[in-house]
Amino acid sequence: MIRWIAAVGALVISLDSTMNIAFPAIAAAFAVPPERVRWVIVCYVLVYALLSLVAGALADRVGHGRVFRLGLALSVIAFVMGGLAPTFGWLLIARVLQGLGGGCVYGTAPGLVTLGVASDQRGRALGFLAAAMGLGLTVGPVIAGVLVDAFGWRAVFHLRVPLMLATLIWAVRVVPGAPAPRAPRVVAAGELLRGRVLFPGALSFVANAGMFAIWLLAPFYLVAGRGMSATVAGVLFMLTPLGTTLAAPLAGRLSDRTAARVPVAVGLGLEAAGLALLSRADPTSPLLVVVIALFAAGFGLGTFQVPNMAVTMAAFPALQQGAAGGFAFLARTLGVVTGVLGLAQLFAVRRLSVGLAPAAAEAFLAAGIAVGLAAIVAGVIRAPAS
């Protein structure tokens, strides 16, 4: 039951994918250029990136349930604030608070689903969690498209208030607060700087940095570049998280049966191929090309993400699985922040001289090259043993 609550909490947090389809409407409502919308991502993702490791390590000492429930409560408050934000600045403040809640949930969810699980079933448990998160990422854009067209962008915040409140009530009733057993100490910095921890962390950093070329720029390409409605764009945009959702449980089972190196490298390669194909798309490109590119990138990330996280979790002892999960999310979200800032800056500079669609294509290509290099490294270099 606890793993189901952890998965549902992570699913509702992952419904933040509703924000991406709302970006054009948010930019129009507050009269800000597309590249400034990156701060809506950064204020959320950077905060939960920094907090996820702290929350996971703290949970090993005071209890995963306590930190998890705190994250759910903070998220409810943040969703209310976001839906009522009168200015762009207030929206960013709400996103910071949302990041605090998300960090507590994401930092404890991997530990909650793997506590008490045998090492040869860890990949399957993480695949279950990743599939739940992928489901939230998948349905979010479709729901957002309908809500934004019908009620405006604020509805993407209003939607999540009752969902998270119900999850919080469920967690208070079922998830124990006290740690059982308790970690003897907080994870030391030296334990995080080992090669077997840093190597998968570096790969996750690059994979997620590249993927946010899609999460940030694809909505503008689909809505502004191709003239689609938010609803139609949401249906197409969901192909990326749908690919991740379908790949995650398969990759989890595979990682329990074979070395992680193969699915990690193959997943990165697929993601790179999807990004490269998307870089060739323009407003007149066949829709099938865009469909294949979006799905391939997402399926590649899902194939990579689960076995790579399993490697990270296996590098820590059983009583430090909170810290392990927190580090895994720290690495991936620092990649997200770097990708958003770097690719958005590239897009902003090039958009002024070549236009929206060509600038987005250049950002997709840069991301594809980076992820492709990571795939080569993952396939050639073995992860350090210590």
pLDDT value of position 186 = 66
Q: Is residue 290 part of a domain?
A: yes
pLDDT value of position 310 = 84
Query: 226 pLDDT exceeds 70?
Result: yes
Query: What span, in angstroms and rounded, lies between the C-alpha atoms of 134 and 256?
Result: 20
Q: Is residue 180 part of a domain?
A: no
Extract the tokens encoding 3.
């793993």
Q: Grade residue 165 by pLDDT with cuts at 50, 70 and 90.
A: very high
Q: Is residue 354 part of a domain?
A: yes
pLDDT value of position 185 = 64
Extract the tokens encoding 25.
């409407």
Q: Is residue 179 part of a domain?
A: no
Q: Is residue 385 part of a domain?
A: no
Query: 1 pLDDT exceeds 80?
Result: no
Extract the tokens encoding 356.
């929206």
Q: Are 234 and 353 in contact (CB under 8 A)?
A: no
How many domains are there within the chain?
A: 1
Q: Grade residue 298 by pLDDT with cuts at 50, 70 and 90.
A: very high
Query: 191 pLDDT exceeds 60?
Result: yes
Q: What is the pLDDT of residues 284-295, one digit of tens each?
A: 889 999 999 999
Q: What is the pLDDT of residues 173-185, one digit of tens each?
A: 887 765 555 555 6
Query: What span, in angstroms and rounded, lies between the C-alpha atoms of 263 and 270?
Result: 10
Q: Are 200 and 109 in contact (CB under 8 A)?
A: no
Q: What is the pLDDT of residues 311-345, one digit of tens each?
A: 888 888 877 777 887 788 788 888 888 887 888 78
Query: What span, in angstroms and rounded, lies between the C-alpha atoms of 137 and 242?
Result: 8
Distance of CA 53 to the CA centre of its chain: 15
Query: 74 pLDDT exceeds 70?
Result: yes
Q: What's the rounded mean pLDDT across residues 200-212?
A: 91
Most confident of 54-63, 273-282, 323-332: 273-282
Query: 386 pLDDT exceeds 70?
Result: no
Q: Is residue 357 part of a domain?
A: yes
Between 220 and 167, name the one with better pLDDT. 167
For the chain, what is the radius of gyration of the CA atoms?
Answer: 19
Between 59 and 73, name the one with better pLDDT. 73
pLDDT value of position 49 = 81
Q: What is the pLDDT of residues 75-97, one digit of tens each?
A: 999 999 999 999 999 999 999 99
Percent of the chain topping pLDDT 90:
36
| Residue 6 one-letter amino acid | A
For the four alpha carbons of 68, 204, 361 and 131, in that order, the dihedral sign comes to: negative
Q: Are 2 and 174 in contact (CB under 8 A)?
A: yes
Query: 296 pLDDT exceeds 90?
Result: yes
Q: What's the rounded mean pLDDT across residues 200-220?
A: 87
pLDDT value of position 301 = 94
pLDDT value of position 272 = 96
Query: 51 pLDDT exceeds 80?
Result: yes
For the four alpha carbons of 6, 136, 39 and 344, in that order, the dihedral sign comes to: positive
Q: What's the rounded mean pLDDT across residues 166-171?
A: 94
- Which is nearest to 256 in space by CA: 117, 352, 94, 63? 117
Q: Grade residue 202 by pLDDT with cuts at 50, 70 and 90.
A: very high
pLDDT value of position 273 = 96
Q: Is residue 345 part of a domain?
A: yes
Q: What is the pLDDT of residues 25-48, one digit of tens each?
A: 999 999 988 778 888 988 998 898
- Which is nearest to 321 in space by CA: 107, 100, 71? 107
pLDDT value of position 56 = 84
Whole-number average pLDDT of the chain: 86
pLDDT value of position 116 = 61
Q: What's the rounded mean pLDDT across residues 220-226?
A: 82
How deeply is 1 buried, as exposed, middle or buried, from its count of CB atoms within 10 A (0-12, 13-18, 19+)? exposed
pLDDT value of position 217 = 83
* Full residue range of the structural domain in which residue 106 is found: 2-174+191-380
Q: Grade residue 384 by pLDDT with cuts at 50, 70 and 90.
A: low
| Residue 362 one-letter amino acid | E
Extract the tokens encoding 87.
């200015």
CATH number of the domain to which 37 belongs: 1.20.1250.20
Query: What span, in angstroms and rounded, lies between the C-alpha atoms of 41 and 26?
Result: 12
Q: Is residue 140 part of a domain?
A: yes
pLDDT value of position 95 = 97
